[in-house]
Amino acid sequence: MPMNETYSLSAPSRDEVNGLDGYTLLEFGTAWCGHCRLAQPLLSNAMAERDLRHLKIEDGPGRPLGRSFRVKLWPTLILMRQGEEVGRVVRPTDMQVIKQLLSQADGATG
């Protein structure tokens, strides 16, 4: 699955995210966030050869999914597997940090 380029204004519920099969990368941020924009090429390169579900979700006050994960800074990348958080990276500035997170899903399907 290719990396999503646009933050979705509509987010799934926490129960829907928890019910996803296999690995999922959740990305919380906004299009206007400078840190988020700087991280996009790093994330794109890190995800280039991975077949990984990627949910790019616009976050902000009153957005329940981000609050359920206690997201405080953007971008926040959370790797999930079968409803469990496997790892997270907050405000990545180095592609290796993202690759290390994603390597936990290498060889996995879904």
Which residue, 53, 61, 108, is CA-closest to 77?
Answer: 53
The pLDDT tens digits of the residues spanning 12-47 come to: 999 999 999 999 999 999 999 999 999 999 999 999
Residue 28 lies in a domain: yes
Total number of domains constituting the chain: 1
Residue 9 lies in a domain: no
- 62 burial via Cβ count (<10 Å: 0-12, 13-18, 19+): exposed
The reply to whether 27 belongs to the active site is: no
- 93 burial via Cβ count (<10 Å: 0-12, 13-18, 19+): exposed
Which residue, 37, 34, 21, is CA-closest to 80?
Answer: 21
The pLDDT tens digits of the residues spanning 51-83 come to: 899 999 999 999 999 999 999 999 999 999 999
Write the CATH number for 68.
3.40.30.10
Predicted local confidence at residue 36, as pLDDT: 97
Task: Please tell me which residue in 36, 39, 46, 71 is annotated as part of the active site.
Answer: 36
Residue 10 lies in a domain: no
**Does the pTM of the predicted model rise above 0.85?**
yes
Residue 8 lies in a domain: no
The reply to whether 86 belongs to the active site is: no
The residues with which 28 forms a beta bridge, in sequence order, are: 57, 76
Task: Please tell me which residue in 26, 33, 80, 101 is annotated as part of the active site.
Answer: 33
